[in-house]
Chain A
Amino acid sequence: MTAATDTATTDEIGSGIGGWLGYVGHTLGSMPGQYRVGLRQHRRRTIGLTILFVAIVLYPAVGHYVLADFSRNVIPIPFPDDTVSTFMAIFAIMAIGLNIVAGFAGLLDLGYVAFYAIGAYTAAFLASPHFGALGINLVFLGNVGPGAAGIHLPYWIIMIVAVVVVATFGALLGAPTLRLRGDYLAIVTLGFGEIVPLFFRNLSSVTFSLTLGPIVINIANANWTGGAQGINPIDPPFIPILNWVFDARSGPAAVYLGLFLLGVAILVARNLERSRIGRAWGALREDETAAEMMGVNTVRTKLLAFALGASFAGVAGSFQASYLGASTSDFFDFSISILVLIMVILGGIGNIWGAVLGAFALTYVDKTLLPYIGQRIGDIAPSLPNPAEYNFLIYGVILVLMMRFRPQGFLPSRQREAELSVHGLQEAEQEMGIEAEVDNISVAPPGQSEVGPGARDVEVPGEGRDL
């Protein structure tokens, strides 16, 4: 079995999720010869991911009957329950979205929580009795009786609306930041991330009057957003004929809906990464000036990164609000943005699977493991501090240590690994069979290579696999 024929079979199978599944089938089908080649070609990851995928799909159904009993009767191990599992899926969708903005396009967004909040409030506005108090009533295919107060749309429509609304806000908030780079961009997005939840918190008693010729708008003490209490109850996702409800009491059903949405998110992100726009993001991240010279429309590319990245948070936010049946502004603070950022960094910035695994791991640690350890410590020595209260102390240390010792994350994207370390660049070059001399070829003669202060930002000459 030669490497050449193996490459040919990989090409036949194609790319994307289908290609991945095909590759797995192909590899398993032609063991052991092909299997060894597969392993040698750095595809151990494929096998590992397959096992993980099966485990994740089986978990919500099996967890209840097998693992919970095991944990109760044999050895107490903290397994995530249905709520935590659902949140794992929600945060994984968010991490994939942030990975598009920060990982693919290289735009560090510290205000990602804003889009999460907008998604959640879109669901809250469109599927709750809230607007009944303002005299706005609309029931369409909702699982409430006819004539119910407020707006009630089915979740499936709301999700699409949320994607459109959030993507629009993503582009709107992205537009002013187009000229900014690096850390200034981070701070502006942080500002948006703080302002948006403030609006949801403060617009609970709006009073103003406006006269435009014959049109007189008079609003007195109108409650638009529910203030600090937020909005509830929100209708849960619902399939009419089968009578399936996906709310906090529905057990594994909601987990499977979450996993389904996550699967769609992975599929979309994977295709985006390999599309023309995905390659444009890569070029933009490597070197904005060079990308522009090569004909990449930087304005359009950046806005698409913001809009498409944000739309994932729209799905996550609307699903979360519908699932929990409530949306409060206090939930959406800066720490959520940072939590999602840590998920992306832990997994390996730029890598979709890394983002998913980072989200799973960190959500599990945050919502199951730390409270469990805290409870155990509380049983034994109540005077000791509860680690669940100081979770961000641990995450802060993780961030510092990750940047110091493993900035490429635990499942690094090969390309980002190359950017983050010179050593990694050499490794990646060896893997890709590129001679190191390529680095010495430059467009301008050495004396004229000064391209302005921006040249300092280019740490490693961009050896773009995608270019």
Chain B
Amino acid sequence: MDALIQVLIIGLANGLIFALVALGYTLVYGIIELINFAHGDVFMLGSMLAYFLIAPTSAGAWGIFPITADTPLPLKIGQILIVLAICMVTMATLNATIERVAYRPLRNAPKLAPLISAIGMSYVLQNIGLVWGGAYQRTIDSVFPSTNLLEPLGITTIAVTPAQVFVGAVTIPLLIALSWFVSRTRQGKAMRATAQDPDTAGLMGVDVNRTIAITFLIGGGLAGAAGVAQLLYNNYTQYQLGFRFGLNSFTAAVLGGIGNLQGAVLGALIIGEVNALSDYYLSPNWTQAIVFGVLIGILVFRPTGLLGQQLADRA
């Protein structure tokens, strides 16, 4: 039982990172019906950038914010916040640039053209990661102590580490902020209108191109934050990370009902748990097959996902 709870906690932390990436997929699909294949690679570049900012120069990185487990807590929090800000802004800019270069010219092309363009973009970004970080896995020493935060409560068989708390502290405020932005602000209303019907939204005075660009900015920013969380929680990054992670997150978005923000978070948490359970009880060799099995199962039997999103003829 303790083992199961422990596995579920690990799955929860990974699921929260998936949620940030899945939101990027679901926002973009909701608004322009494009599976942004390159999104996972934006996340990968985010974690790569975080690696280069944090890892020491002896490892071939820049070492600008040399955070280690021994750094005093206020300084550590400050540095992590700066790294987060840099990665989010850079990845937001990158994502919006990709939209401008690779997707916007294809706005009126047949639907599969932007998808193929996105696949091409995914390979471009993946190879940028390869040129930048090399083919091998780049690891950092954990910046968080491996203490068990539940020990003061007298629980020793189940561990919650500071790294897991950190993941929650990064992702949950972002999820709340995004929800507020989409449902409460004027720009969020423009996004929802564009998602429903871009032509009509344009007629009502919404700048559709600007709204789509902002959607990509937000998605990129969330992917950048997820990249930092991935590096500091799992302590590694690699150029191929985006493909696997991206497919997990896309599965999460579809599971929850693509285009549905709450659904993406719910789906991500479920996919995180599926990953953790399969890794522990079955074998990491089969995890990817199981996630794909889930994806195929949903698309075939319930294309609208758990929380539902009427996609009519598209699916």
Which of chain B's residues have a CB closer than 8 A to the CB of A393?
Answer: 123-124, 127-128, 130-131
Residues of chain B in range 113-159 having any CB-CB distance to chain A below 8 Å: 113-117, 119-128, 130-131
Partner of B292, one of A180, A194, A402: A194
Q: Does A334 contact B (CB under 8 A)?
A: yes
Q: What residues of A have a CB within 8 angstroms of the CB of B111 in the complex? A: 182-183, 457
- Minimal Cβ-Cβ distance residue in B for A399: B120
Specify which chain B residues have a CB less than 8 angstroms from the CB of A183 in the assembled complex.
33-35, 111-112, 115
Cα–Cα distance between A183 and B113 once the two chains are bound (Å): 10
How many whole Å from B95's CB to the nearest CB in chain A?
Answer: 15
13 A-B residue contacts at CB 8 Å? Answer: A108-B116, A176-B296, A181-B315, A182-B314, A187-B299, A192-B296, A194-B247, A194-B288, A198-B286, A345-B116, A393-B127, A404-B105, A452-B312
| B300 pairs with A202, CB closer than 8 A | no
A35 to chain B, nearest CB (A): 38
Q: With a CB–CB cut-off of 8 A, which chain B residues contact A459? A: 108-110
List B290-315 residues whose CB lies under 8 Å from chain A. Answer: 292-293, 295-296, 299-300, 303, 312-315
Taking a contact as CB atoms under 8 Å apart, the answer to whether A452 and B35 are in contact is no
- Given A181-B313, A188-B300, A420-B109, does the pair A400, B124 have CB atoms closer than 8 Å? yes
B127 touches A390 (CB 8 A): yes
> Is A66 an interface residue, CB under 8 A from the partner?
no
Known: A181-B314, A182-B314, A183-B35. A399 touches B296 (CB 8 A): no
CB pair B105–A191 under 8 Å, yes or no, is no
How far is it, in angstroms, between the C-alpha of A400 and the C-alpha of B125 when the chains are bound?
12
Q: Which 5 A-B pairs give the minimum distances between C-beta atoms?
A: A399-B120, A396-B123, A393-B127, A454-B313, A396-B124
The number of chain B residues touching the other chain, given as a range, is 35 or more
Q: Please report the total number of A residues contacting B with Cβ < 8 Å.
A: 48
Q: Is A410 positioned at the interface, with any CB of B under 8 Å from its CB?
A: no
Q: Does B243 contact A (CB under 8 A)?
A: yes
For B242-261 the 0/1 string (1 means CB < 8 A from A) is 01000100100010000000
Q: Min CB distance, A406 to chain B, in Å?
A: 11
B315 adjacent to A180 (CB under 8 Å): yes
Chain A residue at minimal CB-CB distance from B258: A184
Question: B117, B125, B131, B296: which contacts A188 (Cβ < 8 A)?
Answer: B296
A199 CB within 8 Å of chain B: yes
State the Cβ distance, B98 to closest chain A Cβ, in Å: 9
Q: What CA separation (Å) do A384 and B20 show in the bound complex?
A: 37
Q: Is B61 an interface residue (CB 8 A)?
A: no
